[in-house]
């Protein structure tokens, strides 16, 4: 008796590629962790490039796999890999004053992907109309900042309005620059595989 096994495929190529891309985005985000700056108006919250990766993941991977990428990122930090801002890690960071931003990353990446692509399939990133792309990035920004402000308010035991004044308002110009940078990257040839 013989058994043919040449057509057995345990994991499809598409799934394997999506997992690889999700891991790549999580790793790229982690690589930028040590790069942070102090905002003169909000010294307790660092300026990082990590939200730029959140935006790009949503645009490139779509809602599902962008969410997976940033769930992997969070898990990496929770198990002790130094992937959070300043090279920090651990549950204490996620439960700390800026932990809400981290918790917001997967949700924001999914939001960007859902608004940019819709829920019925992926569009090539450079084919997403600019107004829709900007709307997706603004929606993702709103999710990150909402989660960050709520987390900050809870940990610091202050009102939500005070939290928004402390950790959202000073960062809006920075967020605008990241949105513009994301649009420029998506519209450049940098994302086109040749």
Residue 171: closest CA among 36, 56, 70: 36
| CA–CA dist 166, 81 (Å, integer) | 28
Q: Does domain 16-189 have CATH number 3.40.190.10?
A: no
Listed range (4-8, 113-117, 124-128, 165-169) with the worst mean pLDDT? 4-8
Q: Look at 44 and 144; give whichever has higher pLDDT.
A: 144
At 40-73, the pLDDT tens digits run 666 667 777 888 899 999 999 999 999 999 999 9
pLDDT at 48: 78
| CA–CA dist 28, 177 (Å, integer) | 19
Kindly list the domain boundaries of the chain, sorted by start residue: 16-189
Residue 101: closest CA among 73, 80, 62: 73
At 122, is the pLDDT very low, low, confident or very high (cuts 50, 70, 90)? confident
| CA–CA dist 118, 120 (Å, integer) | 6
Q: What token pair was written down for 174?
A: 């920075």
Instruction: Look at the chain and count its residues.
Output: 194
At 1, is the pLDDT very low, low, confident or very high (cuts 50, 70, 90)? low
Q: If DSSP codes are grouped into helix, strand and coil, which group holds residue 82?
A: coil
Q: Let me know: does 58 contact 29? Beta carbons within 8 Å.
A: no
Residue 29: closest CA among 46, 44, 51: 51
Q: If DSSP codes are grouped into helix, strand and coil, which group holds residue 43?
A: strand
Name residues whose C-beta falls within 8 Å of residue 153's C-beta, 6 or more positions apart in sequence. 159, 160, 162, 163
pLDDT at 30: 60
Q: Let me know: does 191 contact 60? Beta carbons within 8 Å.
A: yes
At 16-41, the pLDDT tens digits run 766 766 776 666 666 656 556 666 66
Residue 177: closest CA among 126, 127, 121, 137: 137
């Amino acid at each position: 008796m013989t058994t043919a096994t040449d057509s057995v495929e345990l994991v499809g190529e598409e799934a394997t590629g999506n997992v690889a891309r999700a891991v790549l985005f999580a790793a790229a985000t982690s690589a930028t962790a040590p790069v942070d700056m102090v905002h003169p108006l909000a010294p307790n919250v660092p300026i990082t490039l990590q939200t730029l990766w959140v935006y790009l993941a949503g645009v490139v991977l779509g809602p599902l796999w962008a969410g997976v990428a940033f769930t992997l990122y969070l898990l990496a930090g929770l198990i002790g890999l130094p992937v959070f801002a300043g090279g920090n890690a651990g549950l204490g960071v996620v439960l700390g004053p800026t932990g809400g931003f981290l918790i917001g990353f997967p949700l924001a990446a999914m939001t960007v992907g859902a608004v940019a692509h819709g829920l019925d399939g992926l569009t090539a990133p450079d084919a997403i109309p600019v107004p829709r792309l900007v709307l997706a990035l603004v929606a993702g920004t709103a999710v990150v900042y909402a989660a960050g402000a709520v987390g900050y308010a809870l940990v610091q035991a202050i009102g939500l309005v005070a939290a928004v004044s402390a950790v959202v308002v000073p960062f809006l110009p920075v967020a605008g620059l990241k949105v513009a940078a994301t649009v420029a990257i998506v519209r450049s040839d940098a994302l086109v595989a040749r």
